[in-house]
Amino acid sequence: MKSNKSSQDGNIVIRFFSSVKLAIFLFIVLAITSIIGTVLPQGESLQFYLENYGPFWFKVIRTLHLYDTYHAWWYLTLMALFSINLIVCTIKRLPYTLRLFRKDGLNLSKDDILRRPFKNSWLVPQRTNPVDIKKEIKGLFYERAGKGRSKNVDGGELHFVEKGKWNYWGVYLIHVSVLVIFAGAIIGSFMGFKGRVMLLEGESTDHAIKTDAHGNIKKIPLGFEVKCEKFVVDFYPNGAPKLFKSDLVILNNGKEVLKKSILVNDPLTYQGVTFYQSSYQSVPDVKIKVVSSDGMQKIVHLSAFRDRETWKEKGLLIGMMKFLPKVHGAPAVRLYIGDIGGRDGDAIWLLSGHEREEKFGDLNLKLSLLEAQERYMTGLQVKKDPGVLVVWLGCFMMVAGFAIVFWVGHNRFWLWLGEDGKKLNVILAGQTNKNKVHFEKEFKKLSHEIQKRIGEA
């Protein structure tokens, strides 16, 4: 990216796609356009937009797919441009980063070393044995700076120590990580699915339900069965929800293979498909005893999914219109009683513990509520996303990249020992690309120690 200006290749397309200016332009455009979807309600019916925003804005919303901004063609185009920008930058940066990474710190002349940002030079009169003092300064250098290498340069010996050379890969890692996250998201959207399952206690299913943007319902086969054995909901004294729990069982070919209680933050995964606790409903489940005057009787079982039943012998249809869990402390049901043809009928309230007589046509009926309870139905979010691990890999790379950029610096130390006339010339030099203040301290400390050693000579 830095090599942008000095770029030798005249290819205008590559230059355009690798420019930092394009990156900044895309950041700003993405930031501004992303606001739309947070202000305008998303995923509503087209009717909703027409009613609330008028015909002009409705046209704008429909044309630009603003009802689903983040999947609109123009938003995805911006994302694609952003990806191309990143890919071109990443490829273009590779030789530049490699050059920095492979640069040999020993491949410098004495003059080069004196041009480093931090340096110190001493001349030592050779009264003492030069081999001794050289050995001691070298020892000091490696002890303080760390392990290193050496080479003969310009008639002297050059010693070199470096740390944090991989600092150059930090920014690189961040850029690649964004592409990895995108790849994960693409894998997920093509190879995964999202759906819902609603299960009464005791009920099981072998498919999930998916509702698309236009309200069409699609069945997604799971390849196995999931059963809800029990659902529990619990509240705090102040009425706030405390716990939602579904006891799930996975059945493969009718055989129980897995059993787990799932909570909101603790889902179940089987064969790459994960079930999340997402909602619940309570649905009524009642049993009514109907006795006719001729002594015949029938138990009518009604629930949210079977809200009517017929009594063929008597030509009756009995249905549940409403359920109230507590009326004066007891459950109550509003019933519809009519003939099977549906031509004639009455609505009555039946209260638990109170038998009721009802005349219908030439029939005298005695009705009583045998059982009335609310059964729970758990709402599960179902998901399969093989791209999610790739996304996590990208996230990990990104954080590692940032950590390197922020905390790791490429620190280099040079020590040159050679003759200058009859004196021993000692040169200490240093360079860093991060946290100069801290490096300067370290450099000064080492400098001071060498100075002290020379002073003793």
In whole angstroms, the minimum distance from the beta carbon of 161 to another protein comes to: 26
Residue 408 Cβ, how far from another protein at the closest point, in Å? 13
Which of 102, 190, 265, 342 binds another protein (CB under 8 A)? It is: 265
User: Is 50 a binder of another protein (CB under 8 A)?
Assistant: no
Q: What are phi and psi of 92, to 5 degrees?
A: -65, -30
Question: Distance (Å, rounded) from C-alpha 265 to C-alpha 246?
Answer: 12
CA atoms within 13 A on the CB side of 37: 16
Helical ranges in 261-412 per DSSP H: 388-407
Query: Which of 208, 146, 135 lies closest to 424 in space, CA to CA?
Result: 135
Question: Applying CB under 8 A, does 212 fall inside the site for another protein?
Answer: no
Contact 180, 393 (CB under 8 A): yes
What is the C-alpha to C-alpha distance for residues 223 and 236, in angstroms, rounded to an integer?
38
Number of residues near another protein (by CB under 8 A): 51
Establish if 6 lies at the interface with another protein (CB under 8 A).
no
β-pairing verdict for 308-311 and 423-431: unpaired
CA angle in degrees (0–180, nearest 5) for 170-173-177 = 145
The enclosing H or E element of 121 equals strand 118-125
Give least dist CB 280 to another protein, A: 11
CB 198 → another protein: shortest distance, Å? 15
Which of 59, 403, 441, 445 is close enough to bind another protein by CB under 8 A? Answer: 403
Q: How far is the CB of 69 from another protein (least distance, A)?
A: 8
Asked if 244 touches another protein (CB under 8 A), the answer is yes
Q: Does 383 bind another protein (CB under 8 A)?
A: yes
**79-89 in b/e burial notation, b at 16+ Cβ within 10 A?**
eebbbebbebb
Choosing from 406, 419, 448, 452, the residue that interacts with another protein (CB under 8 A) is 406
Report the site for another protein in 89-108 (rule: CB under 8 A). Answer: none
Question: Is residue 305 a contact point for another protein (CB under 8 A)?
Answer: no
Decide: is 37 part of the binding site for another protein (CB under 8 A). yes
* Residue 90 or 451 having the CB closest to another protein: 90
Under the criterion CB under 8 A, does residue 236 sit at the interface with another protein? Answer: yes
Q: How far is the CB of 184 from another protein (least distance, A)?
A: 9
Q: Is the CB of residue 407 less than 8 Å from the CB of residue 440? A: no
Query: What is the Cα–Cα distance from 410 to 238, expressed in whole angstroms?
Result: 57
- The yes or no reply on residue 388 touching another protein (CB under 8 A) is yes
Taking CB under 8 A as the criterion, the residue among 103, 144, 194, 289 binding another protein is: 194
Q: Does 16 bind another protein (CB under 8 A)?
A: no
Q: Of 318, 280, 326, nearest to 302 (Cα)?
A: 318
Using CB under 8 A as the binding rule, whether residue 242 contacts another protein is answered as yes
> Cα separation of 35 and 25, whole Å?
16
Rule CB under 8 A: is residue 213 a binding residue for another protein?
Answer: no
Q: Among 117, 223, 241, 325, which residue interacts with another protein (rule: CB under 8 A)?
A: 241
- Piece of 9-17, 25-33, 118-126, 354-362 that binds another protein (CB under 8 A): 25-33
User: Which of these ranges, 94-102, 218-226, 232-240, 343-351, lies near another protein under the rule CB under 8 A?
Assistant: 232-240
Smallest distance from another protein to CB 399, Å: 6
| CB-based burial, 412-444: b 16+ in 10 Å, e otherwise | bbbbbbbeeeeebbbbbbbbbebeeeebeebbe
- Minimum separation from the CB atom of position 238 to another protein (A): 7
How many CA atoms lie within 13 Å of 256's alpha carbon, on the beta-carbon side?
Answer: 7
Q: Which of 6, 8, 38, 63 binds another protein (CB under 8 A)?
A: 38
Residues contacting residue 77 through CB under 8 Å, at least 6 positions apart = none
Stretch that binds another protein, among 153-161, 240-248, 299-307, 347-355 (CB under 8 A): 240-248
Q: What is the DSSP letter of 128?
A: S
Alpha carbon 69 to chain centroid distance? 19
Among 8, 12, 13, 39, binds another protein (CB under 8 A): 39
| 13 binds another protein per the rule CB under 8 A | no
Residue 445 to residue 439: CA distance in whole angstroms: 10
Residues that bind another protein (CB under 8 A): 1-2, 4, 20-21, 23-24, 27-28, 30-31, 34-35, 37-39, 42, 69-70, 185, 194, 236, 238, 240-244, 263-267, 274, 276-278, 381-383, 388, 391-392, 395, 398-399, 402-403, 405-406, 437
